[in-house]
Every structure is written in C-alpha cells, then in structure tokens.
C-alpha cells in the first residue's frame, strides 16, 4: 500500500495555493479596470515589450498556446489586442496592443503598482525579490518525464 503524501509536502499544491491567493489579491486591485491579472500580464507584456508572435508570448508567459488563446479571445474581441500579419514573415502573425489597449494598460498600471507595493509591504521587499527569483528558477528547470 502506498503511503499517502501529506498535503503540506506537495509542491504542486503549495504553488497552486500561493498562486491563487496572490492572483485573487491582484485581481481585486485591478477589478476597477475590468482586467484580470492574467489579462494584465498579457497586455503589459505587449505594451512594454512590443509586438510578438503567439508562440513568443506563450513562451514568455510560460503558457501553452491553447491557454493563451483562451485568454486572448476576450482581449481581441474587446479591441485591446490585435493580431496582424508579420511584415517580416507573411506566414506569421504578431500580436500587439491597440490604442484602446494602451489606454487600458495606462489606467491599470497604477492599480498594479499599488498591488505590488502592498504585497511587498506585507511579505517584505527582499522576500518578494527572492520569491520572484526562486519562481523564475522553477520555470527554468527541466521537469519533462524521464
């Protein structure tokens, strides 16, 4: 009989719980803008980093294309992001923020900054920086099956 793994030792559960907790916190701060944290991340990446392909954006955000597509649909429908043919490679399409999306990002940015400040006040600025570093390290490890 297999030994039960205590919930407090499950890495996946701990990461998901922390992610949900922090995501809900950021969603509350962004609520007045109409954006969820996941949508803000997409819009921010495009607004600050410029146009990119769906594959590049999925890689940047550590999302599979299907999940990214589900998150993009309402943003595209609402005229916040646009998909257009890449002028350098007509076989490829690139995502960009529309003027409406840029205005929304500019309104949402202070709410995100407020959430960021509040999180760092509660958790600690150094601890938050260390946490981000650890989480980035987690995204770089090879977890593919042996």
Answer for the pair 128, 120: CB distance below 8 angstroms, yes or no: yes
Sheet with 81-86, edge to edge strand ranges: 52-53, 89-97, 81-86
Contact 115, 29 (CB under 8 A): yes
pLDDT tens, per residue, the chain with 146 residues: 556 667 678 899 999 999 999 999 999 999 999 999 999 999 999 999 999 999 899 999 999 999 999 999 999 999 999 998 777 777 778 999 999 999 999 999 999 999 999 999 999 999 999 999 999 999 899 999 88
Q: What is the pLDDT of residue 25?
A: 97
Of 85, 71, 86, which Cα lies nearest the Cα of 40?
Answer: 71
Q: What pTM, to 2 d.p., does this model score?
A: 0.85
């Amino acid at each position: 009989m297999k030994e039960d793994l205590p919930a407090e030792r499950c890495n996946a559960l701990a990461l998901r719980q922390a992610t949900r907790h922090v995501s809900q916190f950021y969603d509350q701060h962004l609520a007045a803008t109409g954006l969820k944290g996941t949508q803000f991340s997409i819009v921010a990446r495009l607004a600050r980093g410029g146009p990119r392909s769906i594959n590049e954006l999925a890689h940047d955000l550590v999302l599979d294309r299907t999940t990214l597509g589900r998150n993009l649909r309402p943003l595209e429908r609402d005229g916040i992001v646009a998909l257009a043919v890449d002028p350098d490679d007509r076989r490829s399409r690139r995502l960009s923020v529309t003027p409406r999306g840029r205005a929304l990002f500019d309104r949402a940015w202070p709410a995100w900054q407020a959430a960021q400040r509040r999180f760092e006040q509660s958790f600690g600025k150094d601890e938050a920086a260390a946490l981000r570093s650890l989480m980035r390290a987690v995204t770089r490890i090879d977890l593919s099956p042996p």
